[in-house]
Amino acid sequence: MNYTQLTEKKKVEIDILLKQGYSMRKVAKIIGVHHSTISRYKAGIYKKRKIDITKKYEIFIKYLFDHYDKRHHSIEVCIHNFKKRYKGAKCPSVQQTYKWIRDGKIFLTKDKLCYKKRRSKKNNMMNHTIWNMKNKTVLPIRLRPKYIENRAEIGHLEIDSILGKKNEQSSIISIVDRCTRMLWLIKSEYKNEYYTNKLIYDYIIKNDIPVKSITTDNGLEFQALGITAKKLGVKLYKCDPYCSFQRGTNERTNALVRRWIPKGSSMNLIPQIYLDDICFEINTMPRKMFDFKTPCEVQLNY
């Protein structure tokens, strides 16, 4: 029988689901593993074993301490010379040595290295992705807490794009509150993910929209929306592909917007002031679900 270890992503998902009160069998069913795997993980079998590098690489660390000099001998040179001189001794790779330095496990620090690496934009975005994983900012929708489904408090938003003609850059960003059904519309000139992220963040701050969580689809224009979630200190939940029903509030509200902007209409000539008028019309529309109160009236009650 073949066995595979739990990935870091699955471990994070298990931790979140267990904190939400799911049973181990339920968590196993959601993650797609056997319930005994969850039991062993909870008991601590998958805890990482710390290796004492000081004992294992004692000769190498002493050699590095005696011979490393950023003016003459870099890390690479020291490792090359060590391998030639001590053929039977344990020697780490260059990448492993630099990792020890970054983690502060040996005497060397970053300021004592020969070269200082410049961080490119790609590295910065990778660091942002790692931050999201560690701080659990961007999560799949199956990890969204149960209380959000109850629609008992404002601030849980669903965000989507309303598209116009094919091959057109302009679009409309719709933001809907799951509790009150309040709607906000933003004119977007481009489909770039960083432009869309900044547009949404600035609009939320300018209009003082309460935010406690954000739910979006997997559209390319929302790939960088985790930055907004990070700035606002909330969680961003991503729906599964081709599962628009997971954002039912958003889809139903977009259908109301289509009464003013039919499918196939060009978005290029639609100004923001017209979108504000549409929001006013929809937000003052009586709803049967609220005993014929309007979303604006429901919002005032909170």
How do the domains of the chain map onto residue ranges?
A: 8-43, 53-112, 138-301
- Chain-centre distance for alpha carbon 75: 35
Alpha carbon distance 270, 167 (integer Å): 17
- pLDDT by residue (tens digit) across 91-124? 888 888 888 888 887 878 777 776 655 554 445 5
Res 208: pLDDT: 93
Alpha carbon distance 109, 113 (integer Å): 7
297 φ, ψ to 5°? -65, -40
pTM score above 0.85: no
CATH of 138-301, one of 3.40.50.300, 3.40.50.620, 3.30.420.10, 3.40.50.880: 3.30.420.10
Res 23: pLDDT: 86
Res 30: pLDDT: 86
- Structure tokens of 76? 């690479």
Res 47: pLDDT: 47
In the chain, which stretches have pLDDT less than 70? Answer: 1-4, 44-54, 114-135
Report the candidate in 248, 247, 228, 245 with the shortest Cα–Cα distance to residue 236.
228
Report the candidate in 264, 255, 22, 32 with the shortest Cα–Cα distance to residue 160.
255
Res 48: pLDDT: 46
CB atoms within 10 A of CB 204: 21
Give alpha helix (H) positions in the chain. 8-19, 24-31, 35-43, 53-56, 58-67, 75-85, 94-103, 121-135, 146-149, 193-206, 226-232, 248-257, 272-283, 295-301
**Residue 269 in contact with residue 261, Cβ under 8 Å?**
no
Alpha carbon distance 53, 93 (integer Å): 13
- Chain-centre distance for alpha carbon 158: 15
